[in-house]
Amino acid sequence: AHSAPQSAPRSRRPGAAMVYRIVALPCLLAALCAFVGEGRRNSGRHAAKAPPHSRGPIDYALEVEEIKACATSGGLPTQVTLVSGKGEARATVSRGIACFMKIVQGMAEEYEEEDDESKDTEINLPNVDAESLRLIVDFAGGKLEKAGAELEKLKFSELPRPLPGPLHETESVLKEDAEFMDAVAADLTRLFSLTNSANFVDFPALLELCAARIAQMLIGKTPQQIREAIPMSLLAPEDRDA
């Protein structure tokens, strides 16, 4: 008797409505609109071309409920492999970590009627670079580790609007979140890349922290100083003279 060959991991890509062109300029607007001024609201959840600055304040209780629902529904396999845009990085993570990203939550429905959830599944993230993928996994993994088996104990930083000062001096910002963002912001290109990636995978809590950290850098600067602070390599050619 011969054993049946194992099937290859299923590879998934985000739907077309979730894939949109992202540049650093919308990320800059996210920081300024949300934390320096008043943020705009957006009723669409995964609307194509929806810029990050259209979000309103996050309902963190709802975020926790959605993560918990995704992680316990059985819609996704127990292990998911996230693949960066160019395929140079792969991260096999638990279903719980993957469910921090709404782009993955949306894919969970595809698996509801499929069998054998123990098989590994690949999810390609074309707008996420290798280092940002590692940072996203580290951030989500740290949150999950602190909460343990009780997902309702997940804790996120609540960011006031406008931002009153540096993250590490803001009472509602968790110490570990402020330290994480300070480490990321030591390299501006890394900060902007992570902001774009967090926007693409729709990770609201991380995107808010990135936008707030950008705002912290830019408050009080002149337009020329702001232009000098933006990594030009992350801007589309037509946006570099904006």
* Cα 171 from chain centre: 23
Comparing C-alpha atoms, which of 25, 48, 49, 30 is closest to residue 40? Answer: 30
Are 129 and 111 in contact by the 8 Å Cβ rule? The answer is: no
Q: Are strands 121-124 and 79-83 parallel, antiparallel or unpaired?
A: parallel
Calculate the CA dihedral of residues 101, 105, 111, 115 and round it to 10 degrees.
Answer: 70
The reported pLDDT for the residue numbered 29 is 59
The reported pLDDT for the residue numbered 182 is 95
At 51, phi and psi to the nearest 5?
-70, 150
**pLDDT in single tens digits along all 242 residues of the chain:** 444 444 444 555 544 333 333 334 555 555 556 565 543 333 333 222 333 444 567 888 999 999 998 888 777 888 889 999 888 999 999 999 999 999 888 876 666 555 555 455 888 898 899 999 999 999 999 999 998 878 888 999 998 888 888 899 999 999 999 999 999 999 988 998 999 899 899 999 999 999 899 888 877 778 788 777 776 666 656 555 65
pTM across the whole model: 0.77
Are 117 and 77 in contact by the 8 Å Cβ rule? The answer is: yes
Half-sphere exposure of 27 toward its Cβ, with a 13 Å CA cutoff?
A: 34
At 64, phi and psi to the nearest 5?
-60, -45
Residue 89 to residue 176: CA distance in whole angstroms: 25
